[in-house]
Amino acid sequence: MVVQIVETPEALRAARKRLSGYVGAVNTMGALHYGHLSLVSQARDENDAVVVSVFVNPTQFAPGEDFDNYPRSLERDLEMLDRAGVDVVFTPTPGVMYLPHHQTSVIVDEVSQGLEGASRPDHFRGVATVVCKLLNLMQPTVVYFGQKDAQQVVVIRRMVRDLNMPVEVAVCPTVRESDGLAMSSRNVYLQPDERLAAAALYRSMKAAADRYDEGERSPEALRATALEVLAAEVKARVEYVSLNHPNTLYGIHKPTDDPMLLTMAVKIGKPRLLDNCLLPYALNNREHLSEILGVI
């Protein structure tokens, strides 16, 4: 393997010092798939060097969530990252990331509270804190995030702006399976019949997007269209389907011609699946996402 693997903050700092020019960073929890690799490949194309972290961050999991069982495949991940031309991979343990008596965290207030934050109250505090720590260590020019976790993009962009962090945040479109299911490390939890049912999320988003393209602008009507498709799938248990402002995440309750962010969380079997898209659907590409999502 050519890729350099470092396991401690000190070793990462030393490795980072040896890199020059533009540095792209990608933060992951491992169990890598093509969604992750699309971020890495974008980082590779746009920078002189690429640093990737593989760290299942305990502080973003609530008690009772799947931290212990989260899929882990480090050797395979390292091979994939080596083949993708990554320069440095950071694979810390929780013990080196959170020293005894760790007390500091980053809270990004309002945008962390709705949607995912409503059912996972400390999740984005864990995410913002670990991303802040990783960016301090990696010191990248650009950090790449996936649209798949749209609220995460909004939270991180707000943190970077509010704390004057010297990094550009780029957003890469969601990579999907052939039936439209957004790739996710947690998809391995789906039983075969649930895997088929999971395509309902994409179908429901597309149905709403098609209605939008036909001229519908009422958030209630667009939401109803998505819910109707999900209701037809007996295995789908909807937690929320929501239309929000793509920068502030305020709920949209009146018709508008401004872009909207359609998000959903749906349980199918054990896993809780997330998906989202911008409306109009034509905006779901790298350029528009980077210009619109979380940009105030």
Residues near ligand AMP (CB under 6 A) = 28-29, 35-36, 38-39, 145-146, 148-149, 172, 174-175, 182-185
Nearest distance from C-beta of residue 171 to ligand AMP, angstroms: 9
β partners of residue 241: 264
Among candidates 220, 239, 238, 222, which has minimal Cα distance to 230? 238
d(C-alpha 206, C-alpha 176), whole Å = 13
Q: Which residues are catalytic?
A: 36
Nearest distance from C-beta of residue 123 to ligand AMP, angstroms: 12
Q: Are 182 and 146 in contact (CB under 8 A)?
A: no
Strands annotated E in the chain: 4-6, 23-28, 49-54, 88-90, 142-146, 168-172, 236-244, 260-268, 272-279
β partners of residue 171: 145
Contacts (Cβ under 8 Å, ≥6 apart) of 163: 106, 132
Report helix, strand and coil shares of the chain as percent, to nearest 5: 45, 20, 40
Question: Tokens at residue 8, please?
Answer: 């401690």
Q: Reduced to 3 states, what is the DSSP secondary structure of residue 95? A: helix
User: CB-wise, 204 or 225, nearer to ligand AMP?
Assistant: 204
User: CB-wise, 184 or 290, nearer to ligand AMP?
Assistant: 184
DSSP 8-state symbol, 85: T
Nearest distance from C-beta of residue 221 to ligand AMP, angstroms: 28
Nearest distance from C-beta of residue 46 to ligand AMP, angstroms: 16
User: CB-wise, 116 or 149, nearer to ligand AMP?
Assistant: 149
User: CB-wise, 35 or 219, nearer to ligand AMP?
Assistant: 35
Nearest distance from C-beta of residue 43 to ligand AMP, angstroms: 11
User: CB-wise, 6 or 175, nearer to ligand AMP?
Assistant: 175
